[in-house]
Amino acid sequence: MHPTPVKAAVSAALFFTAAQPVLSAPLTEIGPGEGVVDIVAWPGYIERGETDPNFDWVTGFEEATGCQVRIKTAGTSDEMVALMNEGGFDLVTASGDASLRLIAGKRVQEVNVDLVPSWNTVDERLQDAPWHTVDGKHYGVPYQWGSNVLMYNTDVFEEAPQSWNVVFEEMTLPDGNSNKGRVQAFDGPIYIADAALYLMHHQPDLGIKDPYELTEDQYQAALNLLRGQREIVNRYWHDPFIQIDDFTNEGVVASSAWPFQVNLLVGKEQPISSVVPVEGATGWADTTMMHVDAPHPNCAYMWLEHSINPKLQGDLAAWFGSVPVVLAACEGNELLGDEGCDTNGLGNFERISFWRTPVTQCATQEQCVPYYRWVTDYIAVLGGR
């Protein structure tokens, strides 16, 4: 028997409705958990005590909610965007240079903050941050923030360097030798913003107002600075452990770095310290965002609430060298200690330019150079062009 045309049409219609992405409004109430939640995260961001049993903020959640947490780590923001474009995940801990791209690409959905009871405990400076809030809608819950720092060797610098110029311009260091071949820079296009931030203070006539919003002229000036830097950089870093090795065996004495490397090197009793120089620094502010077709939205909302509890926030800050988004986490956390938030840079908030995706239509200038050009041009700078 052949299916009648009507039946065929109905089943086809059903099929297409089922296959359509659900473009509905956010959930209005949380139902029972689906048993699983899939999260794309930075390495070290979601720990279940496997590396160090003291650092575990997953097991308790799994027992309380019955939602198994499955983690996929990603090493760069671009990789996170690529994974979310593929789909099949519920949540992503996106930095500011990925979050707006995800929103523009319609890969993430609006979050109903009423379903996250602890929302009001989030640091007020972050609640409406422009990297996750578009047209008054929240596309995520802040997770953690931190700054890039200038890591240096204390045998060479008896006093902390005051400026990023030690990694940008050829000069003689306090130990009498040139810095050529002894400094490093970050191996990612977003590093162009570090150059722009430096120029913002040293060449004010360029008129840079925001290191992520550069006109063609400002952008070319930043690239020129980076081309000069290529001459003195021995190797660009992206793997924290290779950078640690280079500071130990390769005679590297200064570089932009994360607090993560500084903590590890200080832990190994190496002569290493870090500073945020006068120009300020770039930093990251990460937001947990939900995929537009999240297969397990209820468990995802439960994780969002769990992600901003003070215990998790404090433990994570101690583990990663970052700063909690819930200020209550700074007090009384055993792993972080009472000084922990200050050590990790809580007081630097105003001096940090948080990572954002550079876009053509920008607020402070008429027209800006978009991110895709940053990618190709930075590869060219690394190649010496």
Partner 1 sequence: MTTAVATAPSLGRRLSNGLYRRPTLLLLLLLAPPLMWLGIVYLGSLFALLAQSFFSIDEFTGLVRREFTLSTYAQLFSPANVDIVLRTALMAAAVTVAAACMGFPIAYYMARCTGPRMKAVFYLAVMLPLWSSYLVRVYAWKLILAKEGILGWFFAQLHLTWLLDAVLALPVIGGASLSVSYIGMFLVFLYIWLPFMILPIQAALERVPPSYLDASSDLGAHPGQTLRHVILPLAFPGIVAGSIFTFSLTLGDYIIPGIVGSSRLFIGQAVFVHQGTAGNIPLAAAFSVVPIVIMAIYLTWAKRLGAFDAL
Q: How many residues bind partner 1 (CB under 8 A)?
A: 38
Cβ closest to partner 1, residue 320 vs residue 378? 378
Closest CB 139 distance from partner 1, rounded Å: 14
Closest CB 223 distance from partner 1, rounded Å: 12
Is there binding between residue 30 and partner 1 (CB under 8 A)? Answer: no
List 48, 68, 72, 76, residue binding partner 1 (CB under 8 A): 76
| Residue showing tokens 């297409």 | 16
Closest CA to 143 of 22, 322, 291: 322
Is there binding between residue 134 and partner 1 (CB under 8 A)? Answer: no
What distance in Å separates the CA atoms of residue 28 and residue 114, rounded to the nearest whole number?
8
Q: What is the dihedral angle through the alpha carbons of 209, 214, 218, 219, rounded to the nearest 10 degrees?
A: 150
Site for partner 1 in 215-244 (CB under 8 A): 233-236, 239, 242
What distance in Å separates the CA atoms of residue 174 and residue 183, rounded to the nearest whole number?
14
CA–CA distances in Å: residue 380 to residues 17, 188, 215, 224 = 46, 12, 19, 12
Is there binding between residue 371 and partner 1 (CB under 8 A)? Answer: yes
What distance in Å separates the CA atoms of residue 162 and residue 284, rounded to the nearest whole number?
22
Is there binding between residue 331 and partner 1 (CB under 8 A)? Answer: no
Cβ closest to partner 1, residue 93 vs residue 313? 93
Closest CB 237 distance from partner 1, rounded Å: 8
DSSP, res 367: S
Closest CA to 41 of 83, 10, 96, 8: 83
Is there binding between residue 169 and partner 1 (CB under 8 A)? Answer: no
List 62, 78, 169, 293, residue binding partner 1 (CB under 8 A): 78
Cβ closest to partner 1, residue 56 vs residue 187? 187
Closest CB 3 distance from partner 1, rounded Å: 31
DSSP three-state, residue 246: helix
List 9, 10, 14, 82, residue binding partner 1 (CB under 8 A): 82
Is there binding between residue 163 and partner 1 (CB under 8 A)? Answer: no
What distance in Å separates the CA atoms of residue 318 and residue 251, rounded to the nearest whole number?
28
DSSP string, 33-55: --SEEEEEE-TTSS-BSSS-TT-
Q: Is the distance from CB of 104 to CB of 360 less than 8 angstroms?
A: no
Residue span 98-127 as binding mask against partner 1, x where in contact by CB under 8 A, dash where not: ---x--xx-x--------------------
Residue span 245-264 as binding mask against partner 1, x where in contact by CB under 8 A, dash where not: x---xxx-------------
| Residue showing tokens 């953690």 | 144
Phi, psi (degrees; rounded to nearest 5) at 76 = -140, 165
Cβ closest to partner 1, residue 327 vs residue 382? 382
For the purposes of burial, counting CB atoms within 10 Å of the CB of 110, is it exposed (0-12), middle (13-18) or buried (19 or more)? middle
Q: State both tokens at 35.
A: 């048993």
Closest CB 152 distance from partner 1, rounded Å: 17
List of residues contacting partner 1 (CB under 8 A): 75-76, 78-79, 81-82, 85, 101, 104-105, 107, 180-182, 187, 233-236, 239, 242, 245, 249-251, 357, 359, 370-372, 375-376, 379-380, 382-385
